[in-house]
């Protein structure tokens, strides 16, 4: 397994062909990757739509053509979910589906692998997708934590923070808000403490992430 991945990273495999699901499960185990098989898009959708987001780094191996809801139809449903970017999708396509899979990549899929695929190349891309998922999930957690910090500020502290982030010195912040420079300094110290920064530059960089 890629050293950057946690042990609970998971590959969701959606394919109506049991032999393909079994083969992919075996292949992923050779790299010590966990996988969960689904025989249909409907089965995966019933589970995924209940998630707040994937619980760990995850990716989806998705067959393009399946009876009932196709892989492409499932992909379109997933694109509407808030956490879509944290579940990279790799399409498994037959030769006739390549152009369709390429179009899906343009609309947000991570990649596609044409059947029959190279085992090593496929698992390499799976590991890369899982790393991407872990990065996106970490960024989402950081943004949530940042919003909590901002919510903890008083209204006046938010006013001071906004003006500091705009580059105004304490004197101009005081003039803008009609308060003393000393009061600005106190609010500024509280903002830096609550936001976990030591300078206006760090504050600006943090707010840019938000």
Neighbours of 205 (CB within 10 A): 12
Same fold, 10-139 and 152-209: no
- pLDDT for the residue 7: 79
Give the model's confidence band at 3: pLDDT under 50 very low, under 70 low, under 90 confident, else very high. low
What topology is assigned to 10-139 in CATH? Rossmann fold (3.40.50)
The CATH class of the 152-209 domain is mainly alpha
- pLDDT for the residue 177: 95
Return the domain boundaries, the chain.
Answer: 10-139, 152-209
Inter-residue long-range contacts of 36-42, CB under 8 Å, 24+ positions, other chains counted? 36/10, 36/11, 36/12, 37/13, 38/12, 38/13, 38/14, 39/15, 40/14, 40/16, 40/66, 40/67, 40/68, 40/69, 41/14, 41/66, 41/68, 41/69, 41/70, 41/71, 41/73, 41/74, 42/68, 42/69
Q: Is the pTM of this model over 0.85?
A: no
Query: Contact, 88 vs 110, CB < 8 A?
Result: yes
- pLDDT for the residue 1: 57
22-72 pLDDT, tens digit each: 999 999 999 999 999 999 999 999 999 999 888 889 999 999 999 999 999
What is the enclosing helix (H) or strand (E) of 48?
A: helix 41-48
Would you say the C-alpha torsion 18, 22, 23, 27 has a positive or negative sign? positive
88-135 pLDDT, tens digit each: 999 998 877 778 888 888 999 999 988 888 888 999 999 999 999 999
User: What's the mean pLDDT in 5-19?
Assistant: 90
Neighbours of 110 (CB within 10 A): 19
First to last CA, the chain: 32
């Amino acid at each position: 397994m890629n050293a950057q991945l946690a042990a609970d990273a998971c590959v969701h495999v959606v394919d109506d062909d049991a032999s393909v699901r079994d083969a992919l499960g075996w292949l992923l185990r050779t790299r010590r990757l966990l996988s969960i098989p689904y025989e249909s898009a409907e089965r995966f959708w019933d589970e995924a739509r209940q998630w707040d987001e994937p619980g760990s780094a995850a990716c989806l191996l998705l067959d393009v053509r399946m009876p009932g809801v196709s892989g492409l139809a499932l992909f379109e449903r997933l694109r509407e979910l808030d956490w879509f970017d944290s579940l990279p999708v790799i399409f498994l396509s037959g030769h006739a589906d390549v152009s369709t899979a390429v179009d899906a990549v343009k609309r947000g899929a991570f990649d596609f692998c044409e059947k029959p695929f190279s085992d090593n190349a496929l698992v390499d891309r799976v590991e890369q997708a899982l790393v991407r998922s872990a990065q996106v999930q970490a960024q989402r957690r950081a943004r949530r934590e940042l919003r909590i910090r901002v919510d903890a500020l008083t209204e006046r502290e938010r006013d001071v923070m906004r003006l500091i982030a705009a580059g105004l010195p304490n004197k101009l912040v005081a003039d803008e808000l009609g308060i003393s420079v000393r009061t600005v300094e106190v609010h500024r110290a509280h903002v830096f403490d609550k936001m976990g920064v030591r300078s206006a530059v760090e504050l600006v960089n943090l707010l840019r992430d938000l």
